[in-house]
Amino acid sequence: MNNTEERLRDYLDTKAGSIPANEQGPGLLAETTRRRPLWPALGAAAAVVAVLAVTATLLTNADDKPTPAATPAAHAAPKLPYIFTEVEVVKDSRYGDVLGDETSTLYDGAQKVRIPKNVTIRARVDGGWLGESFTDKGLRVVILRPDGTTRFLGPDLSSAPTLSPDRRQVAMVVDKFRGDEQGRVAIIDLASGSEVGSIPLPRKVSVLGGWSSRGIFTFSDISGKYELFAAQPGDKQFQLVSMPGFVGGTIATTGDVVAAGAGGNGCLEAGVFRGTNFDVLRKYCERGKMGSQPMLSTDGRTMIYLSGNLAVDIASGRTTKLDLPDPMETLPPGAFEDATHALVTTMGKQARGFGPVRMYRCDVTTGKCTLLRTEKYPNQLSIVRG
C-alpha cells in the first residue's frame, strides 16, 4: 500500500468512526447533503484495503452516488449537451478573410435549440440549460428553455452561475452597484427560483471557482498571489483555505475531491480538504505546459491533464496517453459522461493556420478516442456539463 492509499484509508476510517450515519459533518467545509449509512465493509480493515486497491478516491458515500450509467457505444451520440458555433467568414479587400457573425446551436440528445446571441450556456438543469445573458443593464443569470426563449434566475447583475452537487441550487456572483460594494454570492433554489442564502464575497474582485460537497469556492488575485476561500450555504462569510501554490483557473470538483492548478511549472493537484487545509493525493507536472485547467471523472478517480492529452489515475499516479492527433481545447474544457468516458474537443494546426475542430469520446482506461464530429475552423465545438 502506497502513501496515498494509506492516507485514503485513514480518511475513510476516521469518517466511518466519527460521523453519525444520519448527520451532516460540522464546520466550514461540512457536506451539504444528509449522510446515508457508509459502507458496512468499512468495519473491517481488510475490506478497506481491498477497496483501496481497486479505487482511486472512494471519498464520498457510495449510497449517495447515482447508479452508474450504461457505457456508451463508441460512436453513440454524446450523453452531454454540446454547442456548435458557426462563424461567418467575410471577404475583405484590404484584410482578406475576417470573422463575422456567430450562430450557436445547442444539441442535447434529440433536442436542438438555437441559442440567443447574447446568451452563454454553462450546464444542463431541469427544464432547460443554465447560463447567463448580456443585457442592457449588465450580466444576468438565465435558464434557456427548449423552445429557445429564456427566463431570468436570481437578482439583477448576477453572473457565473454554479450548480450545487445535488443540482438543486445555483450559486451566483451578484454586484448590485457595479463595483460600489464588495459584492456577494447569492444562492438560488432552482425549483422555486427563490433566494435561500447570501454570503459576502471575501474580496471585491472574486471569481466563483466551483461547488463541491466541501463548500462553495471563490478565489481572487491580490498582487499576483491567488487566495482561495470556501463557505457553506448559511455561513455568514467565506473563510480562507490553504492550497499552497494555487494558480487560479478552473477548479474541478467531484464529491470530496478537488483538482486545480497548483505550484506552477505546469502542475495539477488533486486532493481533499481536511478542515481548511488541502491534503494532496496526486500531483502531476509537465514543465513548459499550462496545468491550470483540469477535468475530473464522475467518480473522482481520474483527472485529465489537458495540456498533455493525458489521463492520470489519482491513487496510483499511472498515466494513460489519449489517442488524439491534436491538442485538447482548454477554454472551456470538456467533461466526463461517466467514470471512464470523457468528451473532449481538439483544434488542429495546418501550414496556413488552424485546422479542423473535432469532438471525441475518450476511454481513459485504454486511451482510445473515437471521433464524433468534425467542423472546419473557425467554427467551434464545446461541451456543456450535464
Q: How far is CA 365 from the centre of its chain?
A: 20
How many residues in total does the chain contain? 386
- Cβ contact 278:297 at 8 Å: no
- 275, burial (CB in 10 Å: exposed 0-12, middle 13-18, buried 19+): exposed
Rounded to two decimals, the pTM is 0.78
Strands (E), 47-206: 82-92, 96-108, 111-115, 119-125, 128-135, 138-144, 150-152, 158-163, 169-174, 184-189, 195-200
Helices (H), strands (E): how many in the chain?
2, 28
Q: What is the pLDDT along the chain (386 residues), one digit of tens a residue?
A: 555 555 544 444 444 444 443 343 333 333 333 333 333 333 433 343 333 333 333 333 434 444 455 667 778 999 999 999 999 887 776 666 777 789 999 999 999 999 999 999 999 999 999 999 998 888 999 999 999 999 999 999 999 999 999 999 999 999 866 544 678 999 999 999 999 999 999 887 788 999 998 899 999 887 778 899 999 999 999 999 999 889 888 889 999 999 999 877 889 999 999 988 999 999 999 887 876 788 999 999 999 999 899 999 999 999 999 999 999 988 889 999 999 999 999 998 876 678 899 999 999 999 999 999 999 989 999 999 87
- Cβ contact 205:186 at 8 Å: no
C-alpha span between 163 and 30 (Å, rounded)? 17
